[in-house]
Every structure is written in structure tokens, then in C-alpha cells.
Amino acid sequence: MNEVKIGLCQMMVEKTSKQDNVKKARNMINSAVDQGAEIVVLPEMFNCPYNNKHFREYGESSLKDETISMLSEVSKEKNIYLVGGSIPELYEDKVYNSSFIFNNEGKLIGKHRKMHLFDIDIKNGVKFKESEVLTPGNKATIIDTKWGKMGVAICYDIRFPELIRIMALEGAKVVFIPAAFNMTTGPVHWDLSFRARALDNQIYMVGVSPARNVNYSYVAYGNSLVVDPWGKIINKLDEKEGILVQSINLDYIDEVRESLPLLKHRRTDLYKIDYEIKQE
């Protein structure tokens, strides 16, 4: 059986300092490994309060910088693959929301820059505009592991089915989504989004959120989860800080696809749509 144990670190991001967050992240990674995790995933913006005013201040640009170097060191030390949630990345005077991914030798094997920026204004709900500070990435991210191909995207990216479909067609068996849904969108859309993408593509979807801090300006939903290729939530945390280690059977993907061959039944000859929106 082709199994892998995944560790989800639902971390309470502190407002005190980057150093405190980096130290906590390392401790949680170590704890997940102690529980058997072979791939560990951190949440979105785990070294930085989720607020535009902090992104440039907490940003990093080099593998030698504090957060990124820790990710490299601990992945090698603990012999794990590590999806480093996301942090603000500084590059050519721009700021990206980026996930740095390392293999068990501490080598950078992928970097995903959030492609779809979270610019929303929900009536009587949340208002946020990442594009005031952040620059969007422009490519899907698929990494090679000893268990096969896996994808990484960030938060709002999950709302665009085309992106996850591309990853599945390219062979990704699992897609990891470091994310920080909020208390407006989370209760309604969090489970639904992950279940839908898993079901549509018959893959595992893994969502890792920060823990919920009701005393901060942006309140994350939490509820980190693992969804199987049948669209079933197989394990989930609540809103509090915690670690979830879940074993997944990658052979189950083939079983699901053989019994319900959605991808084989696609009619690509008919899916020709003009996406241009013409203005009157």
C-alpha cells in the first residue's frame, strides 16, 4: 500500500515578533515528526500577522534569511518534505505571498507565489485587498516527491477550479493549500471548496489554516482538514492551535478513478469557450 503520513500544523500566529513565530513553527514541525509525519505543512503567512501593513516588514528574499533557512534546516534535520505554508517574499521591490517547499535533504524543490490575490469587499462581512501590497504569481506549482507528484497553491487559489484541474492532469496526487479563510467565508465555503476540488479531480486535498485569534484584525477560520478523492473529509481540526497527523493511501486514487472515471469521461472536444468578457 502506497501510504504517506501528512502533518498539518495549525499554528497561532503571534503579533509579537517574527522570531517568536519562526520558533513556534519549528517546534510544531518537530512535534508533527514525533507523531510520524513524513510531509509537514504550515499555514498561510505563518511568520507574519495577516495584514497588509506587516507584509513588507516581515518579508524575506534569500535562502539565508531567518524563516526560509529554518525551513531548509529542519527538513534536512528531520528527514521530511516540508511545505512551508507561506510568507511574504521580497523580490525586485515587489512582495509576493509565497510558499517555499523543501525535500528531505533540505533542498528547495518548489516555490509557489499566490496567483489569485484576495481582493474582496463582502457587505456586512470582511474587506481585504491584497493587491494594495502584494504582486500575483503566474504559474502552477507541482513538486516531485518519492510518493509521486504533488501540487501547492495558496488560499484564494482554491476558488479557481482550472488551477487544481491542471495540477491533477499533470499527475498531482495531493494538493496542499496553506490558507487563511476568515469568519465570513470559512463557515460556508471552507469545507465545500476542499471537498469540491477533491471530488472534481479525484485527488487528496489538504488545507492548513492558522489557528483562530479572535483578538486580531483578521480572524482566521481554522478547521485544517484532509479530504480524500471521494470528497470525504477524513480528518479535521477545530479552531484552536493544534497538530493533525493523518495517513493517506495514494492507491485509493486509482480505485476511485476506476470506479467513477470522471477524468476519462471529459469531453474536451466540446469545452471550447470564449472567455473574453466584452464590454458594452
> The domain that contains 109 carries what CATH number?
3.60.110.10
Is there a domain that residue 131 lies in? yes
In a domain? residue 280: no
Confidence (pTM): 0.95
Question: Cβ neighbours of residue 274 under 8 Å, at least 6 residues apart?
Answer: none
Contact 101, 145 (CB under 8 A): no
Q: What's the number of domains the chain is made of?
A: 1
In a domain, 279, yes or no: no
Whether 160 contacts 152, CB under 8 Å: no
- Asked whether 174 and 197 are in contact (CB, 8 A), the reply is no
Which H, E and C letters describe 228-269, residue by residue? CCCCCEEEECCCCCEEEEEEEECHHHHHHHHHCCCCCCCCCC
Cα 79 vs. chain centroid, distance in angstroms?
A: 21
Q: Phi then psi for 190, rounded to 5 degrees? A: -65, -65
Domain membership flag for residue 158: yes
Rounded distance between C-alpha atoms, residue 211 and residue 220, angstroms: 7
Side chain identity at 160, as an amino acid letter?
F
Contacts of 72 by beta carbon, 8 Å cutoff, 6+ apart: 63, 102, 106, 107, 108
Active-site annotation, residues:
44, 114, 155
Domain residue limits at 239: 3-259
One digit per residue, the tens of pLDDT, for the chain of length 280 reads 799 999 999 999 987 789 999 999 999 999 999 999 999 999 999 999 998 999 999 999 999 999 999 999 999 999 999 999 999 999 999 999 999 999 999 999 999 999 999 887 878 777 788 999 999 999 999 999 999 999 999 999 999 999 999 999 999 999 999 999 999 999 999 999 999 999 999 999 999 999 999 988 889 999 999 999 999 999 999 999 999 999 999 999 999 999 999 999 999 888 877 656 554 4
Strand partners, 233: 227
